Structure 1
Amino acid sequence: MRGLLLAGGTGSRLWPVTRSVSKQLLPIFDKPMIYYPLSTLIRAGIRETLIVTAPESTDQIRRLLGDGRQWGLRLEYAVQPRPEGIAQALLVGEEFLAGGPVALVLGDNILHGAGLGRKLSEYTTLTGARVFAYPVANPSAYGVISVDEAGRASSIEEKPVVPRSRYAVPGLYFYDGDAVKIAHGLRPSLRGELEITALNEEYLRRGSLRVTVLGRGAAWMDAGTFTTLMHASEYVRVIEERQGRKIGCVEEAAWRAGLIDNEQLRALALPLQKSGYGEYLLRLATEPGRQNSPTGGTGEDPTAVP
């Protein structure tokens, strides 16, 4: 399975800040926003990812991430000419995906929870589609999914005025090789976009849409507005300062997944020492009994309780 990380769009909900910089480069506490979804893909076992950017932000994001080899990854880039829907990214990435399965993640989504990486890695081989459900107070602001007593999806709607449930669909989706073919058959919605909800509806119609409800042990944040950006930063700050473990640390995820060794981790840490970020990485590389802990390729902290 390959990854698609969506870092396009205009970021208009964050104007004027994002008139001059990509939204995905804004900080969520101590690291760029894009680190969080990228580390989610690493924890899911994804090693090859296409970063889909807006035309004006490709160079900015490439300057930060490079080709990924410093983390044992393969990162490529493609431009979404206009922000015409999440599902359009599948068409932009068609050649990269080469008919195979895909994990699609939005560049402003943060997912965190003990054991989450192990859970996500189960979905990298699948038939059909896998989405997630997360309870929220204001479901009308999101795609909303209804789940029956057996845990199966019964309906899915895009920003309904009267939601059928309080479960929002986070911006992480796993699809089999039919996703691009289905995306080709979609028609733009009234707002002129190829909606990801329409793609999911087709999988639901086929009876192949599976859903995982994220419980109390998981956190999901969409950092697309000033308020949610601040909420996400405060959440990360509190967790990191209390637990002494970072969230969304790409270097750590790659190290725990065995993609880089201790010496490579140290080399990545040295230029980052002044900010304190590098000191954290150096501590990881020197903790007794923790070097390249076997984690089944998920990038999971082996001390975490699922």
Structure 2
Amino acid sequence: MKGILLAGGNGTRLRPMTRIVNKHLLPVGKYPMIHYAIAKMAEAGIKDVLLITGKHSMGLYAEYVGSGACWGVRVAYLLQEEAGGIAQALGLAEPFVEADDKVLLLLGDNLYEDSLAEAVAAFKQREHGAHVFVKRVPDPERYGVAEVENGVITRIVEKPQEPHSDLAVTGMYLYDSNVFQIVRSLKPSARGELEITDVNNEYARLGQLTYSELRGWWTDAGTHRSLLDAGIRLLGEEEA
């Protein structure tokens, strides 16, 4: 299984800090944000990681992450020339993934407590499909929300005004290699991007989308408040 780590984006919600450096290099506790994402990949048993980012701070990524040896993984780098959505960035990784391989896609600004190792090991045994990780939240209208019937995700609705559940889809995904064919079939959304929700809904339509519910804490560290809260939490864990 290959790991794909997305660390691009403009970080508009974290300005003015992101005028200086990419948000995934901002400090969270003792380390830059990207440190935790690579550590979670390694913890899940991933050995080969492709880090995708934009032109902004590419050199700093290479300087801090290097070959990945610090985490016991091998890190390669890929430049995303311009933001085109999560699914578009995923599509760029196709040459990195062998035909019969599977991928763990991780958004670098997702910080979380749970280990993904068990879910990754189980997914390796599956022939095909996709798997998402959900978290119960008090404000699901801010996220992509999973609608579940009889233990099966029927569809994911992006930022619904009237959510049918409190299950937010987090930024960790498992896919078979068919995901690239699905990405190639997508059409841009109203905001001109290829949406990862459309990828997941295609797997749901095929009856191939499963999920796990995160039990520990999780945050999308994309705002000043969530970045601060994550740093305080992780600093406490590191000093415990």
Same fold (TM over 0.5): yes
TM-score between the two structures when normalised by the length of structure 2: 0.94
Q: How does 1:35-50 map to 2 (within 5 A)?
A: 35-50=35-50
Q: Is the 8 A contact 2:29 2:231 kept in 1?
A: yes
Deviates more, 1:99-108 or 1:194-203: 99-108
Letter in 2 for 1:143: G
- String of CA shifts for 1:13-49, please: whole Å, max 9, x gaps: 1111001101011111111101111111111111001
Q: What is the aligned partner in structure 1 of residue 237 from structure 2?
A: 239
Q: How does 1:74-153 map to 2 (within 5 A)?
A: 74-99=74-99, 100-113=101-114, 116-126=116-126, 127-149=128-150, 151-153=151-153
Q: Is the 8 A contact 1:37 1:111 kept in 2?
A: no
Q: Aligned residues: percent identity? A: 42
Q: What is the aligned partner in structure 1 of residue 6 from structure 2?
A: 6
Structure 1 position 51, deviation (Å) = 0.2
SS of 1:229's equivalent in the other structure is helix
Q: Distance in 1 between matches of 2:13 and 2:96?
A: 30
Q: What is the aligned partner in structure 2 of residue 198 from structure 1?
A: 198
For structure 1, list consecutive stretches of 5 or more residues without a partner in the other structure.
245-306
Q: How does 1:1-306 map to 2 (within 5 A)?
A: 1-99=1-99, 100-113=101-114, 116-126=116-126, 127-149=128-150, 151-215=151-215, 218-241=216-239, 244=240
Q: Is the 8 A contact 1:124 1:174 kept in 2?
A: no
For structure 2, list consecutive stretches of 5 or more residues without a partner in the other structure.
none
Structure 1 position 116, deviation (Å) = 4.7
- String of CA shifts for 1:247-266, please: whole Å, max 9, x gaps: xxxxxxxxxxxxxxxxxxxx
Q: Is the 8 A contact 1:43 1:118 kept in 2?
A: no
Letter in 2 for 1:235: R
Q: Is the 8 A contact 2:68 2:74 kept in 1?
A: yes
Q: Is the 8 A contact 1:54 1:79 kept in 2?
A: yes
SS of 1:202's equivalent in the other structure is helix
SS of 1:81's equivalent in the other structure is coil
Q: Distance in 2 between matches of 1:134 and 1:235?
A: 18
Structure 1 position 207, deviation (Å) = 0.5
Q: Distance in 1 between matches of 2:105 and 2:116?
A: 16
Q: Distance in 1 between matches of 2:125 and 2:79?
A: 27
Q: Distance in 2 between matches of 1:131 and 1:221?
A: 16
Q: Distance in 2 between matches of 1:131 and 1:199?
A: 11
TM-score between the two structures when normalised by the length of structure 1: 0.74
Q: Is the 8 A contact 2:44 2:117 kept in 1?
A: yes
- String of CA shifts for 1:133-191, please: whole Å, max 9, x gaps: 10111111111102234x21122111112211111011000000101110011111001
Q: Is the 8 A contact 1:43 1:121 kept in 2?
A: no
Letter in 2 for 1:57: S
Q: Is the 8 A contact 1:153 1:210 kept in 2?
A: yes
Rg larger for: 1
Q: Distance in 2 between matches of 1:49 and 1:197?
A: 23
Q: Is the 8 A contact 1:130 1:210 kept in 2?
A: yes
RMSD: 1.4
